[in-house]
Amino acid sequence: MSTVKKWSARDAKQCIIVPSTLDHKYSRGVLGVITGSAQYPGAAVLSTSAALATGVGMVRFNSSSGLAHLVLHGAPEVVVQPGKVSAWLLGSGIDHRKYRHYSTWLRHRWFALAKRQNYPTVLDAGALDLAGKLNQPTVITPHYGELARLLTARGTVVTAEAIEGNFRKWASTAAQLLGVTVLLKGSVSVVAHGETVIEMPAATPWLATAGTGDVLAGILGALVATNTIEILNDPERLAHLAATACHIHNAAALRASDGGPISATSLLSEISGVVADLI
């Protein structure tokens, strides 16, 4: 039987790696990012900007020149040249139906590189099909419909409605079937790793707007990149990082909202303050 845990700001604080005077941009973690597409270019901007705001030594964005220019316009500190990374974020803003065929030979090259490198990896949206197929520690971030599609494709037929009706069970089932950490997104998000389930407090309903999932992916990517050593020493660390990403995401939304509507972009300027409050 799964053990259900709650997650607090005190727990989240333990997942924030505060740099010392001996650190430099490479030691603080380098996140390789393959996100965005011609259909959803904004996902590239949101995911990279959220990662930078969360705290990471470097973000390496691997994609076409068109997307790279868009990302650089909003965040000129992003590096668009290939190089060593300590973690990967894949799939935000990429249609899963087009992932298998790739939009360009360059994207095929980047995905092949990420699959070969044994670094902790976050799989979102269009890259969810890689769940259970990688050798590295992996966390996936589906919503109910995406998890239903993924499990059904792997032989466990289930509907999004069934998952919504018992989301704790299905998050745990997916984690064990696929051998990954699962962050199942919803009004109440849950994280599952092995027999452990972490249930998050209900998020503000104002988060139900386009692009907020891309922001969450960027937050999680940065946390994973800065915790690579901790993940290799303790695979359950991925679950703790996923729960912490949810905590930061919702706290940033509450700060941005102040009781009113928000956009995904409005979260970006609040993330750093949330992290500062935690530490």
- When mean pLDDT is compared across 67-71, 93-97, 165-169, the lowest value belongs to 93-97
Measured CA to CA in angstroms, residue 16 lies from 31, 138, 170, 243, 264 at distances of 16, 19, 28, 12, 23
What's 191's DSSP letter? E
Is it the case that residue 100 has pLDDT exceeding 90?
Answer: no
Q: What is the pLDDT of residue 103?
A: 52
- Taking only Cα atoms into account, the Rg of the chain, rounded to an integer number of angstroms, comes to 17
Q: What is the pLDDT of residue 117?
A: 80
pLDDT tens per residue, range 116-142: 888 999 999 999 999 999 999 999 999
pLDDT tens per residue, range 151-176: 999 999 999 999 999 999 999 999 99
Q: What is the pLDDT of residue 2?
A: 63
Q: Read off the pLDDT of each residue in 146-151 and give the average, rounded to a whole number.
A: 98
pLDDT tens per residue, range 14-36: 999 999 999 999 999 999 999 99
Angstrom distance (rounded) from CA 59 to CA 49: 9
Q: What is the pLDDT of residue 44?
A: 96
Q: What is the pLDDT of residue 81?
A: 87
Phi, psi (5° rounding) for residue 199? -100, 125
Q: Domain 3-278: give its CATH code.
A: 3.40.1190.20
30: part of which helix (H) or strand (E)?
strand 30-34
Pairing of strands 181-184, 190-193: antiparallel
Is it the case that residue 211 has pLDDT exceeding 90?
Answer: yes
Q: Indicate the pTM of the whole model.
A: 0.95
Is it the case that residue 113 has pLDDT exceeding 90?
Answer: no
Is it the case that residue 101 has pLDDT exceeding 60?
Answer: no
Q: Where are the domains of the chain?
A: 3-278
Phi, psi (5° rounding) for residue 264? -60, -40
Q: How would residue 96 be classed by pLDDT, with cut points 50, 70 and 90?
A: confident
